[in-house]
Structure 1
């Protein structure tokens, strides 16, 4: 009985730490020299009938938990001024104009931020939308946006990025697209960048930066104890790994994870969780620090890396 209670206590600790990072830090993401593109990415097609009003590229950003609202403005979001991915979208809008235009890199980039609930019902916030419902709402809205763009602009290339809950839904969608089941062909996705993906695992996409990531996504790590998790985070299904890799997008998906971030690098089993309980407590704030943490990728923060990666794609 004592061992069972210890294990349950550690499970509770892990989940509380995962949902307890709502104190977002002030972002400071000025441009720095950035990376070259990781993985091959196609260029906009020239053999499709593309209206002049279409963007050459559309950047779709899926914010993390508590960083968006269902009725937010997708072009000029204001739901959370400290949203991590504003460190990606704002510089790209400044560089390329932000709205759809016809003339390629200098104005032909549409930047669209997902408006969705971005909530995570838990024992401290039982009035919020459940993680499952929030994630599904976000997923459906990205599908709607991509479908609408592709219907009128079949030559537009998409660049997808997501953080935390937004990374999970974006990664799920990239899996579907890469395996031929998405709203657009895989050839229309130029690249994907996932920050702190809760379903991250080795061999799916490219882990960029720190080689010290030893864990797995929290949805995978906690899948075997999903029923025990439900009283703490009701409606947050720990679904386990994605059923396949990213298919045709495998070499176009970039994963970013701080080794101490429990969302994307949770202990692989309960035994490890018990042994590392003190480390887990110390790592509580890491998930909120990708905009200031220079230890994940060399010579830049993760948002800075993504901005320069996206520019390399657009300007190539």
Structure 2
């Protein structure tokens, strides 16, 4: 019978220094990205209570016949814009938002409001907490958690869509968002496109996302830079630290809305462009340079410029404004009663 190998003897296998070093580097890289995501945000007021999102889905357009006309005060097009972290408050006015005059989405909606009459376009900006607390801050930073903030934005957006559809079933919808707002808009668009949303997919004429944290190349249309990475929620799928929950892929993608969905992402934006193999220790030689490039050139706040994202000389907000304008001009003009 062979004798068991004793500690310290040559027969015992020990982890190599190289393997240990690679593991440590991988762990450090992951921690750095998590810290970066949190550091994009800042302290703010405490969050008010929220209500849970409705789980009911709108009937499909084939199941319910739509009327020939709708009330006179219904807009032809409803454009919902969901601001990013720091760019909204739960008490903000959705028609005339003032919580953050520098909000990226205001740079899209304000010119459109000036270009189209209210009967043609209603721009509705989701008022929500728009915060993300640092789960490892000591003392606590006083912000609402990402989950709390995200659920309120989701709930209020779905409520507005439900209310509008009940009164104005012929109104066309454009759903847009930036950063945390893009994650919310993308989640709702995914549900709508897969038959589980608050309105039928036929009512949605466009979805526009800037820096979607659940982005996956090939799951939507894009212009400008088309990074090979994925959103931080996809790369770090399953990470859950005291209210900072990253949800991974969207089951079913955007469903029937895939061809109507546009997702914009800068090459150096760590929110929408992370290495898909960030947890693969064997790929560390290629993953680390990618992480370093994204972290060093963090462009998350630069979509109003052409520094990291541009298409034919236009910034992301200018491109999205032109895209939305084209949709509004081409949208149906329902009869009113």
Relative to structure 1, the CA distance from residue 149 to residue 119 in structure 2 (aligned partners, 3 Å threshold; closer, same or farther) is: same
Q: TM-score, with normalisation over the residues of structure 1? A: 0.83
Q: What residue number does 1:42 align with?
A: none
Structure 1 CA distance, aligned partners of 2:36 and 2:312?
A: 27
1:134-149 mapped onto 2 (5 Å cutoff):
134-149=149-164
| Among candidates 283, 286, 305, match of residue 319 of structure 2 | 305
Alpha-carbon displacement from aligned partner over 1:122-177 (angstroms, at most 9, x marks no partner): 14563211111111110110000000001000000001110000000100100110
TM-score (norm 2): 0.78
Q: Would you say 1:10 and 2:25 are equivalent positions?
A: no
Match of 1:133 in 2: 148
Unaligned runs of 5+ in 2: 1-19, 43-64, 279-283, 331-337
Unaligned 5+ segments in structure 1 are: 24-44, 102-107
Which structure has the bigger radius of gyration? 2
CA offset digits 1:189-225 (Å, max 9, x no partner): 01000000000002211122223x010000010115x
Match of 1:95 among 115, 121, 124: 115
Deviation of 1:4 after TM superposition, in Å, equals: 3.5
Cα separation, 1, equivalents of 2:89 and 2:287? 33
C-alpha distance in 2 between matches for 1:269 and 1:275: 12
Query: 1:200–1:209: structure 2 CA closer, same or farther, 3 Å change rule?
Result: same
Q: Is the 8 A contact 1:61 1:85 kept in 2?
A: yes
| 1:1-316 paired onto structure 2 within 5 Å | 1-22=20-41, 48-97=68-117, 99=118, 101=119, 108-122=120-134, 123-124=136-137, 126-211=141-226, 213-223=227-237, 226=239, 230=241, 234-270=242-278, 271=284, 272-284=286-298, 286-293=299-306, 295-316=309-330
Measure how far apart 1:22 and its partner are.
Answer: 4.6
TM superposition shift of 1:277: 4.3
Q: 1 or 2 for the larger relative contact order (CA 8 Å, sep ≥6)?
A: 1
Is the alpha carbon distance of 1:273 and 1:69 closer, same or farther for their aligned partners in structure 2, counting shifts above 3 Å?
Answer: farther
Instruction: Quickly say closer, same or farther: Cα 1:59–1:277, change in 2 above 3 A.
Output: closer
SS in 1 for 2:215: coil
Task: Tell me, in whole angstroms, the C-alpha distance in 2 between the residues paired with 1:249 and 1:297.
Answer: 23
The number of residues matched between the two structures is 279
CA contact (8 A) 1:69 1:116 kept: yes
Find the residue that maps to 1:192 and give its secondary structure.
strand
The alignment yields a C-alpha RMSD, in angstroms, of 1.9
The alignment partner of 2:174 has SS state of: strand
Residues 194, 254 of structure 1: 8 Å contact kept: yes
Listed one character per residue, the Cα deviations across residues 62-99 of structure 1 (whole Å, up to 9, x for unaligned) are: 000111001111011111111111111110111124x4
CA contact under 8 A between 1:256 and 1:296: conserved in structure 2? Answer: no
Moved over 6 A (4+): none
8 Å contact from structure 1 (residues 216, 264) kept in 2 = yes
